[in-house]
Structure 1
Amino acid sequence: MCAAMFVGLAVWSEISSWQAQVSRMNSYLEQTAKAIAQHADDVIEVAKQPLVGLVLQVRNNSDTMLQKLELVRTMRDVTRNSPYLRSLAYLNADGRLIESTTNAFSAGVDLSDRAYFIHHRQSEDFSPRADGPFKGPVTNEWFMTLSQRLNDRNGHFAGVMVATIDVRMFINFFKGFSFPGQATLAMIDGDGRILVRSPMDYSAMGMSLNQTPFYRDALLKKSSGNYPYRSPFDGVFKESGYYTSQATHITALVAISQKDILWYWIKLSKTRWLFSLAAMCAAVVMTLRLMHNMAMARRDQMLIAARDAEFQLIANASSDLIEKLDDNGIREYVSAASQSVLEIDPGELVGKSVFEGNDAEAKQYWSEALANIAAGSSIERLIFRRTKKNGEKAWLETVITRVRRFDVGSGMVAITRDVTSQRLLQEELDRLANTDELTQLSNKRHFNTQLRLRTAEARANGTPLSLLLMDVDRFKLFNDTYGHLPGDTCLRRIAAETSATIRHGTDLAARYGGEEIAVLLPGLNEEEGWDMADTIRQRIAALEIEHAKNLPWAYVTVSIGVATLTVHQHESDEALFVRADQALYKAKNSGRNTVIGNESNLAAQTNSAA
């Protein structure tokens, strides 16, 4: 019977471990899908910018042959300098190809039957349209398109400008993530068509999934989550995580077979199983001895002692910390793993409360969990931080289970394991998703979220909030003069100087556009926000980055607009941003190298002496 109890407890422990492994893998798959979808958003957003510029150039300057040659040169320069664009093509109003950066000899090809051309010819919407996938007729490479309608000066349809994006870019980004076994990536557009699949499967490209259970039961109901399914391509049952972008409606799906997850879990569990097997053998021996002594007068007491010893053998063989608690959270037993998990000897913990040694946040979590157990809950799970002796922060996960036994009354069993590595991995994924790759500042998406949150917080608390919008003066001339790589270096130095100036842990700096940086200053009033902006302006000017065409200074300068949400205002975050943008516009039109506050129009004008 004792052996059966041992096996039952071991099986229960392994089932819990397996379920936790699947849960952690699902969380990782979902976070990876989110990172890939947001990367796709960034790629498409960056690809839109040169496309819009070319559309304006066609509309305003495409009458003469010289202007058309200049357009062709610009298209080639944009393609060569863009890290994301595969090619650019220009179609006239009848669908004939005028210029393609992929093949200079393809001019005149009729592309009027393409879906994007038909859409733009029939629709007056100027929004760029993402479409695909398509296969190159010459190179046999798969790509997506980003197209935009062209109008002439009279407002009539004049053709289509098309940018192409190589799907291998997304596959290479996906390969940067680590998985046990072979993972699968699929990118699906808003209509349910497969845009990208890795491993590459040509038969899957463009396939529609809008009639599959995944599309009906998952994508149409939730924008992110997990979905188990059997692959229609290889017949393997898989766990997956997916995330749908609200901006592009592209869904990233990352999946891995349950077989690979199982083998990975087995690899992690081998050592624990060996100890459990040894403990099981010991338990069998003890059971045989108990059966021999059942006729003795103290057989009942010995049975209880054997069961306690049995539990201790199992607990001490486990790498997880196992504790027996009474109804008040007092430790009755602590396994040997407390030395590795808590850095405390088991003997020092027996008889003490679970609240001792924890910080206020952890105590609150324990208090809520014990209250739920007392109210009738059978199992509670909590994750909290603990500071190690060397000062490092560790994350611990504890599962508390109510135990009721007829012979020893009630109590609880708590199993604790170190989940620091999984937590750090999740935090790193979150950081990558919220960081601008070039400047290492926050990206536009994270800034917009923080602007809404901090504006609401300022209104609720009655505290001021200042917003700075900063733009590098004549930055296009800088790029034209020195090139894009020095331009990137210049932006990184400006970003680093801005980060060094603001308050660490309180303020937020983000790259809002190409050379535009936004800074949130919670708690700073109009005058303090203006002072911070002028300090940033002076420190950037003090870098003296050469910019010969930024006269009269001949070095890089910035213009800054300041707007402040005061305790008496209840405007929205959009209104605050508009006021800061208006102030920046005034600064750019007031001689540059200037700080202008929207409320009072105070300005610091840098002259030659400065």
Structure 2
Amino acid sequence: MVIFSCVVLFLSLAVWFELSSWNAQLSRTNSYMTQTARAIAQHTDDVIEVAKQPLAGVTFQISDKNKTVLHSLELIHVMRDMVKRSPYLRSLAYIGADGRLIESTVDSFAGGLDLSGQAYFTRHRNDISLEPLIDGPYKGLLSEQWFITLSQRLNNDQGQFAGVVVATVDIKHFVNFFNSFDTFDGGTFAMIDATGRLLIRTPMNESAMGKSLADTPLYRDALLVSNSGNFNYVSPFDNIRKASGYFKSSKTGITALVAIPKQAVLRHWIRLAQTRWLCSLIALAASVGLAIYLSRQSELRRRDERIIAAREAEFQVIANASSDLIEKLDDHGIRQYVSAASRSVLGIEPEKLVGQSILESYDADARQYWIEALANITAGSSVERLIVRRQKESGELAWLETVVTRVRSFSAGSGMVAVTRDVTSQKRVQEELDRLANTDELTQLSNKRHFTGQLKRLASEARMVGTPLSLLVLDVDRFKLFNDTYGHLPGDTCLQAISAEIQHTIRQGVDLAARYGGEEIAVLLPGMTETEAWAMADLIRHRIALLGIVHQKNQPWGHVTVSIGVASLCHDNDPSDDALFVKADQALYLAKNTGRNKVVGSADVSDQQTAAAA
């Protein structure tokens, strides 16, 4: 009976632990799929945004009212140059109002090809909107490669339909981007437009390309319900049950979907758990053998003590066989038992931790989380989960996930069991995804979306506390002439050098520099008055000039210079965050119009407006 009870206890703990481990694996997998889908969707937004620029350029070339015969002859050259410079474009094409192909970078002998039956041509002919349209997928007639299109309507001088400009992007570009992520065996990736049409799927299945998923549970019960999340479904293409994470872009309406077969997740979890199961079986066998041996020595003598000792030995064997740190705490958070995993998880011998408070060796923020968790357990909560940062004795910083469970014993009231595991690698993956989502790819500064959020946050804090907040808006002087003279690749290199110099000049970890658009860079300076910000701006201007980047069209200097507008938040007069940016932008405008290569503050703008009014 005693042996049977021990086995039941062991199996119960093992089942509980494995269920927790399985649920944690599912949670991590779902989170990873959702974050991957978010990264792919944001990358898709970037690709579409970059593809819009050549569309606008070709539209301008075609609609130029002063065009000449030479201008028309150079159109195909301009289109090919745009495709060559773009990292994403496959081709550019110009289709006339009658649906006949006029120019194409794919095949210069395809002129006259009738494309009036294409869906995007019909849509633009019937819709007066000039907004670019995403359509597809299509298969190339010559290359037999799949691609999606980004098209824009052309109007003549009377505002009537004059044709369509089409840019294409190879589907393999998105497939390669997805393949750069680590996924389980059998992982699939798909892109679905707002109507439920399948634009891309990998592994490639030509019969699935362009198929509508509008009638599937995936689209009805998930994609239409929320913009991001997880959903389990049976694939209509291979009839395999899969778990998925999805994210819908608010800009394009395209949903990125990452799916993994449920069996693949299970197989991965089993591979990770096999060693633990083997140790558990060995521990079970050892515990049963020990119980049999003790019961044979003296079945009657001190039976209760032997049962307690056996259970205590079983618990320690189970705990020490686990890769997770298991700790027994009293009602005040004092450690009564620490498993051997403390060496790998905390870098401390278990004997040194016994008798110490669980709050020791944590920083103030982590200690506060622990205090709240212990208070909740004392108040009646059965389980508390927290993720905190801790510095090991080696100096290494680690993120630890702990599940604290209330335990009631037969003899000594209540206590707690804390199960802790190292989740540093998962935390770093999440932080890296967040960093990529908030960083401008060219300059490695923050992007406009991140800057807008930080401006709102810092302005709110400044108003609440009453501290100053200043903003610099910087623009490279005559940068269009630089690109026209030296080319876009040197232009990108120039922006990278300027961005690096700004990043080295501002206060690390305090100030925020972001690429606001094109050659315009914004810098947030929390805690700085306008006078201090002006000095910082002038230092940046001077250091950029010292770079000595040749720019012969930027006279009288002959090298790259910048103009900077400076403004500070006025708590009494600035009702919105946009007001601060408007003031800095006005100061930049004044700097550009009064000689360039200078710093102008918002006070100078006010003085000029007063003088003009007088």
The C-alpha deviation readout for 1:278-314, integer Å capped at 9, x for no partner, is 2111111123235446742421222122111110110
Which of the numbers 571, 592, 596 marks the counterpart of 1:592?
Answer: 596
Partner of 2:128: 124
Which of the numbers 174, 178, 200 marks the counterpart of 1:174?
Answer: 178
Task: Check if 1:409 corresponds to 2:413.
Answer: yes
The C-alpha deviation readout for 1:551-607, integer Å capped at 9, x for no partner, is 11111111222232222234322333333333333332322222222343399xxxx
Task: Check if 1:138 corresponds to 2:142.
Answer: yes
Partner of 1:389: 393
The percentage of counterpart residues that share the same residue type is 63
Equivalences for residues 224-239 of structure 1 within 5 A: 224-239=228-243
Contact kept in structure 2, 1:463 and 1:567, CA below 8 Å: no
Which of the numbers 532, 549, 552 marks the counterpart of 2:556?
Answer: 552
Partner of 2:529: 525
Which of the numbers 339, 345, 369 marks the counterpart of 1:341?
Answer: 345
Partner of 1:149: 153
Task: Check if 1:440 corresponds to 2:407.
Answer: no
Greater mean deviation of Cα atoms: 176-185 or 454-463: 454-463
Q: Distance in 2 between matches of 1:150 and 1:245?
A: 26
Question: Which residue type is aligned with residue 494 of structure 2?
Answer: C
Structure 1 residue 236 displacement after superposition: 1.7
Greater mean deviation of Cα atoms: 27-36 or 555-564: 555-564
The C-alpha deviation readout for 1:165-197, integer Å capped at 9, x for no partner, is 111111111111112323111111111111111
Contact kept in structure 2, 1:564 and 1:599, CA below 8 Å: no
Which of the numbers 46, 53, 68 marks the counterpart of 2:50?
Answer: 46
* Unaligned 5+ runs, structure 2: 608-614
Partner of 1:562: 566
Structure 1 residue 102 displacement after superposition: 1.1
Question: Which residue type is aligned with residue 500 of structure 2?
Answer: A
Partner of 2:264: 260
Partner of 1:606: none
Which of the numbers 89, 97, 107 marks the counterpart of 1:103?
Answer: 107
Which of the numbers 59, 64, 69 marks the counterpart of 1:65?
Answer: 69
Q: Distance in 1 between matches of 2:417 and 2:568?
A: 54
Q: Distance in 1 between matches of 2:248 and 2:289?
A: 56
Which of the numbers 581, 587, 593 marks the counterpart of 2:585?
Answer: 581
Give the TM-score normalised by the residue count of structure 2.
0.94
Contact kept in structure 2, 1:580 and 1:598, CA below 8 Å: yes
Contact kept in structure 1, 2:566 and 2:602, CA below 8 Å: yes
Task: Check if 1:358 corresponds to 2:362.
Answer: yes
Task: Check if 1:210 corresponds to 2:184.
Answer: no
Partner of 1:478: 482
Structure 1 residue 448 displacement after superposition: 2.2
Q: Kindly tell me: are residues 557 and 306 of structure 1, through their superposed partners in 2, closer, same or farther at Cα, counting changes over 3 Å? A: same
Question: Which residue type is aligned with residue 121 of structure 2?
Answer: F
Contact kept in structure 2, 1:459 and 1:570, CA below 8 Å: no
Contact kept in structure 2, 1:238 and 1:255, CA below 8 Å: yes
Q: Distance in 1 between matches of 2:296 and 2:225?
A: 62
**Secondary structure, in 3 states, of the residue corresponding to 1:457?**
helix
The C-alpha deviation readout for 1:189-230, integer Å capped at 9, x for no partner, is 111111111111112211111221121221222211111222
The C-alpha deviation readout for 1:304-353, integer Å capped at 9, x for no partner, is 22111110110011111111112222212111111221122222222222
Partner of 1:8: 12
Question: Which residue type is aligned with residue 344 of structure 1?
Answer: I
Q: Kindly tell me: are residues 385 and 337 of structure 1, through their superposed partners in 2, closer, same or farther at Cα, counting changes over 3 Å? A: same
Structure 1 residue 249 displacement after superposition: 1.4
Greater mean deviation of Cα atoms: 114-123 or 293-302: 293-302
**Secondary structure, in 3 states, of the residue corresponding to 1:102?**
coil
Structure 1 residue 63 displacement after superposition: 4.1
Contact kept in structure 1, 2:347 and 2:394, CA below 8 Å: no
The C-alpha deviation readout for 1:534-553, integer Å capped at 9, x for no partner, is 21111111101111121111
Q: Kindly tell me: are residues 122 and 599 of structure 1, through their superposed partners in 2, closer, same or farther at Cα, counting changes over 3 Å? A: farther
Q: Distance in 1 between matches of 2:358 and 2:349?
A: 14
Task: Check if 1:161 corresponds to 2:174.
Answer: no
Question: Which residue type is aligned with residue 77 of structure 1?
Answer: D
Question: Which residue type is aligned with residue 490 of structure 1?
Answer: C
Q: Distance in 2 between matches of 1:553 and 1:414?
A: 67
Q: Count the aligned residue pairs.
A: 603
Question: Which residue type is aligned with residue 577 of structure 1?
Answer: F
Structure 1 residue 136 displacement after superposition: 1.4
Q: Kindly tell me: are residues 137 and 162 of structure 1, through their superposed partners in 2, closer, same or farther at Cα, counting changes over 3 Å? A: same
